[in-house]
Amino acid sequence: MAVAERKMFNVYKGLQKPLVFKAFKGKFIYWGVGSVLGAVILGGLMMALVSTILGGITMVVVLVGGFLFTASQQKKGLYTKTKNNGIYIIASVYKNGKAQRI
C-alpha cells in the first residue's frame, strides 16, 4: 500500500486590522453612514414640512455635526474602555489562616 501524502494548506487569518473607508475605521464607518442617513431624513422632512432652504441648512448641519462627532469619538480609540486613574489598594484580613476580602 502506498502511504497517503499529507497536503498542507495555508490558512488565511486576515490582516488583523480594522476596515478603513475615507478616514473612518471599523465601527465608525457605520456611524458615518448613520450621519448621512440622518441628515437626508431630517433634511427631507424639514424641506417637506417647513421650507427648502431650512431643510438644506438642516441637512448640512446634521451631516457636518455627525461627521465631526464621529471623528472626535474615533480619536479616543476603536474600543471603548473605562480608564480609571489612581491607586487602588485591596485590603485583606486574615482569619483562621484564610484570607478574606473586605
- pLDDT recorded at residue 66: 93
Report pLDDT for 74.
86
**Amino acid letter, 4:** A
Q: Distance (Å, rounded) from C-alpha 32 to C-alpha 19?
A: 13
Residue 93's Cβ-count burial label (10 Å; 0-12, 13-18, 19+) is exposed
Q: pLDDT tens digits for 22-71?
A: 888 888 889 999 999 999 999 999 999 999 999 999 999 999 999 999 98
Residue 54 DSSP SS3: helix
Query: What is residue 84's predicted lDDT score, i.e. its pLDDT?
Result: 76
The predicted model scores a pTM of 0.59
